[in-house]
Structure 1
């Protein structure tokens, strides 16, 4: 997220809020530092009029994984999602044809999940 020229507008908004009695603080936060398993920068402006300074959450020093983020979700059991066949498999269980495709993808692009034949799985 680029703030650049918008910083002038942000400062004007903050000045208006401060002029009518608010305590203002703003920051550009990266979501991974707050428990989200991806980099997402977000501009946050806090304004309080109760005399208390805005508070910010503590930063995480370790990057969370997707597993960390979804580990507490309930099991699917017999729900629709659990009955769906898995299209994406691990690399060590793919057919030789699928492994050839995975090799081509690896040489020609950044990162993909590729479908594998006969329900075999592999990790790349």
Structure 2
């Protein structure tokens, strides 16, 4: 996804785009890659963050943590594709879904992405902590 985006992406942006990847896979009759909950900022999957952490440990993504100088807390985490090519194995359907989602959202803002995701029927009306079912 980061290679197709061609730019850094925040955790929030990656999570929302992976939700759209899973939605596309489900629409094609495929099992989603992750389990999703309605959380404070829309669809959320802890599994996506676990994958990002694992990719960081393996050196497959570069990570920049932006610190708030007043509170000394992490304000934002951005990911970039690592300089060495990633050796991830995705089947063709998943790879194409990732490429389509990343290509579509490459030039759009995070705010537009969030508005779009929140407008989806799978997300609208869900209560905090409620499971978002994507399987058809």
TM-score norm. by structure 1 comes to 0.23
Higher relative contact order (CA 8 A, sep 6+): 2
TM-score norm. by structure 2 comes to 0.22
